Amino acid sequence: MSAPDVTVAVTGAAGQIAYSLLPRLLDGTIFGARVKVNLHLLDVTPALEALGGVKLELEDLRLPTLGRVLTTDDQETAFTGADVAVMLGAFPRKDGMERADLLKKNCHIFAEAGKSLARVGKPTCKVLVVGNPANTNAAILARNAAPTIPAQNVTALTRLDHNRLNSQLALRAGARLDDVRHAVIWGNHSSTQFPDASRATIAGTPVGEALPSADDTAWLRGDLIACVQKRGAAIIKARKLSSAMSAAKAISDHLHDLLNGADDWVSMGVASDGSYGVQPGLVYSFPCACTGGGAFQIVQGLEIDDYSRGMMKATEDELAAELQDALAAAAE
């Protein structure tokens, strides 16, 4: 009896994030050790030669989960038959580049991707947008992919910020990373995001008890938040390139939990349904409970203090302005 198979489309597949991500898609963690993974690798025409080299390396990995590998510069070819689409391809953020410039470059890319998915995509396809500005790109893609692909099937990556927050808490407490639970990211994958550790526990102990000093308290609402908000910019400044291996790990974590379920809250950019007063239609990072098979629910009933409400509103306002600008740019 043959093993099941899954088809994964990856855009920007000749890029640096894909180079770290593709082996993770084949290691059995996300889709299972007996599932064949067919890869539809998409990039721009000038990158096709490099993409051919990526295909050769995939063959040389000798991983038993590798199915067929298709390389193409045509979106509809890449998206046809895809069960999962990972949208890495975007105009890259560069040192000193304004988000408004990035938005204008990318809104047309993601509008066209959404239209292509609507034409040839499976209604069940799970789409993960990584290319920045990820939340707004996801909102634009979802609008153009509807109604073929439901809005809840389109998510944006804030798991990298989530992982950064959890890592910083574990380092501060001298704890294992998997000891940290219920730390979440609200809002945009940008410097306005709200890394919220107020409900976190570390090895089962509330964060205020695990980090009890006055310095710890100041750090939790000061340097910790700034560190996570500005981590991407710090990496760009140091590497002259954006995050790659940590982004690939975050994508893997996001897909694993979305498809297999998770026993902790997961930070994901999802279409707002009005929860916590967030404007419906924005793709906003909430704490989500993933139950597997692509199903999730926004965690409800969390008490929000005035400080947190202000932080959440600031990032919502940025997302609302970005979406308005993106819709205007897409209409040009």
User: In tens digits, what is the pLDDT along the chain, a chain of 332 residues?
Assistant: 345 899 999 999 999 999 999 999 999 999 999 999 999 999 999 999 999 999 999 999 999 999 999 999 999 999 999 999 999 988 766 667 666 667 777 888 899 999 999 999 999 999 999 998 899 999 999 999 999 999 999 999 999 999 999 999 999 999 999 999 999 999 999 999 999 999 999 999 999 999 999 999 999 999 999 999 999 999 999 998 889 999 999 999 999 999 999 999 999 999 999 999 999 999 999 999 999 999 999 999 999 999 999 999 999 999 999 999 888 876 76
Q: Is 317 annotated as a binding residue?
A: no
- Is residue 74 helix, strand or coil? coil
pLDDT for the residue 209: 97
- Provide Rg for the chain, Cα atoms: 19
Overall fold of domain 159-323? L-2-Hydroxyisocaproate Dehydrogenase; Chain A, domain 2 (3.90.110)
Q: What are the start-end ranges of the E strands in 43-159? A: 66-72, 84-87, 126-129, 154-156
Q: How far apart are CA 128 and CA 227, in angstroms?
A: 25
Q: Is 99 annotated as a binding residue?
A: yes
pLDDT for the residue 329: 72
Q: Is 143 annotated as a binding residue?
A: no
Overall fold of domain 5-156? Rossmann fold (3.40.50)
Q: How far apart are CA 69 and CA 87, in angstroms?
A: 17
CB distance 54 to 19 below 8 Å: yes
Q: Is 135 annotated as a binding residue?
A: no
pLDDT for the residue 94: 64
> Is there a catalytic annotation at residue 108?
no
| pTM, entire model | 0.95
CB distance 71 to 41 below 8 Å: yes
Q: How far apart are CA 202 and CA 176, in angstroms?
A: 9
Q: Is 93 annotated as a binding residue?
A: yes
DSSP state of 157: -
Out of 162, 182, 189, 254, pick the active-site residue: 189
Contacts (Cβ under 8 Å, ≥6 apart) of 180: 166, 169, 170, 173, 200, 201, 202
CATH 3.90.110.10 residue spans of the chain: 159-323
pLDDT for the residue 21: 98
Backbone dihedral region of 28: left (phi > 0), alpha (psi from -120 to 50 degrees) or beta? left
Q: Is 131 annotated as a binding residue?
A: yes
CA separation (Å) from 99 to 23, 141, 193, 321?
31, 18, 14, 12
pLDDT for the residue 294: 96
pLDDT for the residue 51: 98
b/e per residue, 197-220, with b = 16+ CB within 10 A?
A: bbbbbbeeeebeebbeeeeeeebb
Pick from 248, 268, 273, 289: nearest CA to 24: 248
Q: Is 130 annotated as a binding residue?
A: yes
**∠ CA 287-288-292, rounded to 5°:** 155
pLDDT for the residue 1: 34
CATH 3.40.50.720 residue spans of the chain: 5-156
Go through the chain and tell me how many residues it has: 332
**∠ CA 327-110-86, rounded to 5°:** 145
pLDDT for the residue 332: 67
